[in-house]
A = this chain, B = another copy of it.
Amino acid sequence: MSGNESCIVRHFKHYGPLSESDTKLLQALEKEPISGTSGQTLWEEGDKAGEICTIKSGWAYSYRNIDDGTRQVLDVFLPGDIVGLREFAFKERMSGIKLLTDSVICRFPHNHLIDIFRDSTKLTTIFFSISARQQTLLTERLVNLGRRNAFEKTAHLVYELYMRLKRTNPELGNSFELPLSQQIIADALGLSAVHVSRTFSELREENMICRERNHVTLLDIERLESVIGFSKAYLQEQDYLSYVS
């Protein structure tokens, strides 16, 4: 397990070194991995909520269906991400989850999370940081939906995913697989699929982003950053673990 380190452990180590016992506690998060196929529904809005999941491999997204037949995509989840944290306080799922690729998922009941709160201040602090970080991503998306036009929205979405991939894969170049259809991108950005198509054409004409099939290349990262008003602030993460241990 040490050579082929678990995805969740790698994710947590991003926040600082872990002790033997913390690593063991954490590895319990990845017991009984189950695999799913692209398009599969993990759960739907209104289902009973009693567990969180870690994504060992693959991509997924969460969404809310709207009465008028449209839907809003709320998050896109990448390998190593934790899914379902925000329903910790609720009895029902507030949003559905579907897989974007074939994936491996590990389920973990809320009660075990509380056991971790009791047993490890360090892991608790990290879980709390992860929840805070998810909030920060959501507020960033709020800005995206509220105050940017289609061009900026689309650039931002691609760039956000790029940065998140790079966080766990520092060696990532300027090009990656993006298993999102234009319809899903539209549902994430509050746009129509037609306009997303127009916008990607424009991004290519401007030599900023080239998307073909499920593969994107960032052609001019500096200009991307200036278009979306990127600030490096939300990379400045805190390190409390020295205080904790």
Contacts and interface: CB of A to CB of B under 8 A. Distances in A.
Interface of A: 45-46, 49, 64, 66-68, 70-72, 74, 85-92, 94-95, 110-111, 113-114, 117-118, 121, 124-125, 127-136, 138-139, 141-143, 145-148, 187-190, 229, 233-234, 236-238, 240, 243-244
A236 B87 CA distance: 10
B138 A139 contact: yes
Nearest to A123: B117
A12 B223 CA distance: 46
Given A66-B229, A138-B138, A90 B143 contact: no
A121 B124 CA distance: 10
Contact of A66 (B86, B130, B131, B143): B143
Report how many copies the assembly holds.
2
A135 B135 contact: yes
A66 to B, nearest CB: 5
A141 B138 CA distance: 10
A127 B124 CA distance: 11
CB-CB nearest 9 A-B residue pairs: A146-B190, A86-B135, A89-B129, A145-B145, A138-B138, A89-B132, A88-B132, A67-B229, A91-B236
A187 B32 CA distance: 46
Which of A91, A118, A234, A238 has the largest number of chain B CB atoms within 10 A? A238
